[in-house]
Structure 1
Amino acid sequence: MLTTQRKNLILDLLRRDGQVVAKRVAENFSLSEDTIRRDLREMAAQRLLKRVHGGALPLAPELPDLTARGEISSEMKQRLGTAAAALVRPGQMIFLDGGTTTAEIARRLPREFAFTVATHSPTIATALEKHPTAEVILIGGRIYKHSMVSTGAVAMTAISGLRPDIFFLGVTAAHPVHGLSTGDLEEAAIKRHIARCSAETYVLLTPEKLDMVSPCQVLAISEVSGLIVPTETSAARLRPYRELAASILEA
């Protein structure tokens, strides 16, 4: 087996199982464990996976600040935001998470009928300043500056009093085995709580977030109402997510 073929098979295992155990892979490939460990070291150097004792895990995505994230895949995020905004109906309460992708939803929300937007992000609330029909509820609390969202007990208590029709959740990573995740424990807890309070939860995912794992899990893929992804995402890459998600909308 060629080295390239072997590495591709290792990546396939990582996507399917959420981890790679060097000893098990060596046995399956009838190779030495040292050969597989060398492959894993090389792949880690290429930022294809994360080396851990005994094997490897999916790579955790980098977490650039909010301004830097706004420059990534902007046209793609606009399409996702348009598809998400089309789900909103008259009189509903929606909850917008923080982040640059959900900011695109705020910019594209319907202007011909009234609804309510709850958010724990002051930047999202500011984006709705001149929206003609949206009533805005801003949740307070301790600001997590990296994402510019409120976290902590104050935010949790305020969110408990709401029952949104739709929560548009933002995450930094999605994986069929490890679910939806983000980089901060408190932020993950708030996201999970909003989802529990909401009738439906939709997640907007750009391709660089797929098959990745951040340190703090929010929800399993099966726990959300749907994923909203770009149309150019390959069918093969989406297949394990289709088996878990209630629906996948392509934009």
Structure 2
Amino acid sequence: MIKDERLEQILAHVARQRSVSLTDLSNALNVSEDTIRRDIKILSDQGLLKAVRGGAVAHSPTPRHFRAREKHDMAQKRIVASKALQFIKDGQVIFLDGGTSIQALAELIPADMKITVVTHSFPVVSVLEDHPTAEVIFAGGRLCKTAFTTIGYETIQTFKNFRADLCLMSVCSIHPTMGLTTVNHDEAQVKRTMMEMAGQTIALSTIDKLNTAESYYISPATAIDIIVTDAEASDDRLTAYKQAGITII
């Protein structure tokens, strides 16, 4: 098998399985693990997958810019948001991050629900600005122009002033062993703080973001209490998370 064909086969395996090992690829393509390792580096350098110890995983399918994410899989994100709404109760203090699934969730919060929302998301603030009974606290800081959120020291310090009941956050990438990751270092720090300062963390994720990984680490997967997804809880792709003790909705 020539090199270009081999690279195509590796990409096909990653697209299908989301996570592949050097050993499995070596056996499937009948070449050495060293050859596979070099091939994976080439594909990783091109941004087509993420090289990890012992193999490779798929990147998150999430578009980088918020405007593109607003048009990506919104029907599925609304399903996830509607399932997550059940966890928000009167009197709670909740953290909402800046994902489009969270924006969809904010749009569903009943008009008579009395809650305190702490967020660093301009779109979430825009959704809730006319909510009659929600108190909205915005965490100021440096603008992340691709996410329409704030990041940095001031943002983190705002979240540290609260002990929230819930942290509801959108997922960029999650993997059973590589944990929760994202594409922005500053965003990872903010998300980590939100999780640390909340009694419970609920991750909203369409099924295609599971078993993927990005460069900036947020937390182990087990730091998440509940994953709300658009798939059935019996889906095989969720097995590893259930085995880790995470509740699947």
Structure 1: gaps spanning 5 or more residues:
none
TM-score (norm 1): 0.82
Name the structure 2 match of 1:60.
59
TM-score (norm 2): 0.82
Structure 1 SS opposite 2:125: helix
Identity %: 26
Does the C-alpha gap of structure 1 residues 189 and 229 become closer, same or farther in structure 2, counting only changes over 3 Å?
A: same
Instruction: Say which is worse superposed, 183-192 or 31-40, in terms of deviation.
Output: 31-40
Structure 2: gaps spanning 5 or more residues:
1-5
Instruction: Say which is worse superposed, 153-162 or 62-71, in terms of deviation.
Output: 62-71
Does the C-alpha gap of structure 1 residues 243 and 157 become closer, same or farther in structure 2, counting only changes over 3 Å?
A: same
Which residue identity does 1:236 align to in structure 2? D
Indicate yes or no: 2:22 matched with 1:21.
yes
| Cα distance in 1 for residues equivalent to 2:119 and 2:50 | 37
| Preserved contact between residue 48 and residue 59 of structure 1 (Cα < 8 Å) | no
**C-alpha deviation, 1:21, in angstroms:** 3.0
**C-alpha deviation, 1:176, in angstroms:** 1.0
Name the structure 1 match of 2:164.
164
| Cα distance in 1 for residues equivalent to 2:236 and 2:175 | 14
| Cα distance in 1 for residues equivalent to 2:50 and 2:122 | 38
> How many residue pairs were aligned?
239
**C-alpha deviation, 1:109, in angstroms:** 0.9
Name the structure 1 match of 2:193.
193
Which residue identity does 1:213 align to in structure 2? A
| Cα distance in 1 for residues equivalent to 2:101 and 2:50 | 30
Equivalent positions of 1:102-117 (< 5 A) are 102-117=102-117
Structure 2 SS opposite 1:90: coil
| Cα distance in 2 for residues equivalent to 1:244 and 1:133 | 37
Alignment RMSD (CA, Å): 3.5
**C-alpha deviation, 1:33, in angstroms:** 0.8
Name the structure 1 match of 2:205.
205
| Preserved contact between residue 166 and residue 202 of structure 1 (Cα < 8 Å) | yes
| Cα distance in 1 for residues equivalent to 2:53 and 2:150 | 38
Name the structure 1 match of 2:99.
99
**C-alpha deviation, 1:235, in angstroms:** 1.6
**C-alpha deviation, 1:229, in angstroms:** 0.6
| Cα distance in 2 for residues equivalent to 1:44 and 1:233 | 33
Structure 2 SS opposite 1:199: strand
Does the C-alpha gap of structure 1 residues 95 and 33 become closer, same or farther in structure 2, counting only changes over 3 Å?
A: same
Name the structure 2 match of 1:229.
229
| Cα distance in 1 for residues equivalent to 2:127 and 2:193 | 24
Residues 11-55 of structure 1, C-alpha deviations (whole Å, 9 max, x = no match): 59x76xx66235x864x67944179639966x959x997375996
**C-alpha deviation, 1:78, in angstroms:** 0.9
Does the C-alpha gap of structure 1 residues 94 and 30 become closer, same or farther in structure 2, counting only changes over 3 Å?
A: closer
Does the C-alpha gap of structure 1 residues 206 and 185 become closer, same or farther in structure 2, counting only changes over 3 Å?
A: same
| Cα distance in 1 for residues equivalent to 2:204 and 2:211 | 14
| Cα distance in 1 for residues equivalent to 2:47 and 2:146 | 25
Instruction: Say which is worse superposed, 224-233 or 180-189, in terms of deviation.
Output: 224-233
Does the C-alpha gap of structure 1 residues 195 and 35 become closer, same or farther in structure 2, counting only changes over 3 Å?
A: closer
Equivalent positions of 1:139-178 (< 5 A) are 139-178=139-178
| Preserved contact between residue 206 and residue 231 of structure 2 (Cα < 8 Å) | no
Residues 93-136 of structure 1, C-alpha deviations (whole Å, 9 max, x = no match): 11100021100110001223311111011221111012121110
**C-alpha deviation, 1:232, in angstroms:** 4.9
Indicate yes or no: 2:29 matched with 1:33.
no
Which residue identity does 2:74 align to in structure 1? S
| Cα distance in 2 for residues equivalent to 1:102 and 1:241 | 21
